[in-house]
Every structure is written in C-alpha cells, then in structure tokens.
Amino acid sequence: MAVPDAEDSAYGVSFFQRLEADAPKRSVTQGPDTDEVLQSLKRNVTNLLNARMGESLSAPELGLVDFNDASLSSHDLALQIRRAIRRCIETYEPRIKSMEIHVLPDNGSPLNLRFQVTASINAGALHRNVQMELLLDSNRKYRVV
C-alpha cells in the first residue's frame, strides 16, 4: 500500500493538484483545508474507479476490471464490484482508512448501481469520518454524488 510522505499529509491534497496553474497557495504549517481535502478525495476516488486494470503501464493493477461482460446475477455483480472498489481504494488512496462499503438499492434506475462508502480520513491534521455515495451509471462511469 502506498504511504503518503510528510508533505502530502500536511497539504492533504495530491501533488498534481498543487501543480495546477490556478491552485491556491498552501502552507505546510496551516494544515489542510477540510473542503479541499474532501474534494481532492472525491476526485481521486472517481479517477481511480474509472481507470481500468491494465491501462497503466507503470501500475497495471490500478483501476477496476471491466464488468460489462459479467454473466453474474445483479446481486452477485454488485458484491463483486463492491470488493473491487474496496481493493482499489485501499491500495491507491492512502488518506482513506477503516472503510465500509454498502450496496444501495436503486429501484428507480435499475441500470445504475449505488454504493455508500463510510470511511475515516487521515490526511495530516485532518481526521474525520465521511460518507460518499458512488454511482455506477448506465454508461459504466463512476461518480461521487
């Protein structure tokens, strides 16, 4: 599992986000801004889950397998995806700890799958519990809603 260095822990947002041209100036001594850390987490989780295993030459295990060809029942498929989401987040998002993932029924949109992630965030000075709802839409794209 990847471990963030002291600088990443202090800033609470990713290195690449700090490099963006319009990124606000950050100070290691002030600690991370809660909203920025949460937005950074949501963006990173979305990017992780929309990556497909084997697409990255430097990290071939990054992302999820393509479940489009799955021949499982919808319940079994949801459980498989839940396990894959857990593995991916545990491996590639070190700011999230003690995670629970639940499959949420979506009777109004049967082609969508919803998951609720409850986790502890450990990003330097920011320690708190959060809930994120993930939506796998009919286009097979994950979104944090």
In the predicted model, is pLDDT for residue 106 greater than 90?
no
**Is 105 a member of any domain?**
yes
Q: What is the domain-level CATH number for residue 93? A: 3.10.450.40
Instruction: Specify the number of domains making up the chain.
Output: 1
pTM, rounded to two decimals: 0.77
Whether residue 19 lies inside any domain: the answer is yes
Q: Is residue 13 part of a domain?
A: yes
In a domain, 51, yes or no: yes
Orientation angle between helical segments 34-50 and 74-92, nearest 10 degrees: 120
**Residue 138 maps to a domain:** yes
Residue 85 lies in a domain: yes
Q: What does pLDDT average to over the chain?
A: 80
pLDDT > 90: percent of the chain: 37
Q: Which domain holds residue 43?
A: 6-144
Confidence of residue 109 (pLDDT cuts 50, 70, 90): confident
pLDDT band at 123 (very low <50, low <70, confident <90, very high): low
How confident is residue 4, by pLDDT bands cut at 50, 70 and 90? very low
Q: Does the residue 26 lie in any domain?
A: yes
Note whether residue 1 is domain-resident.
no
**Strand ranges across the sheet with 96-104:** 96-104, 113-123, 126-136, 142-144
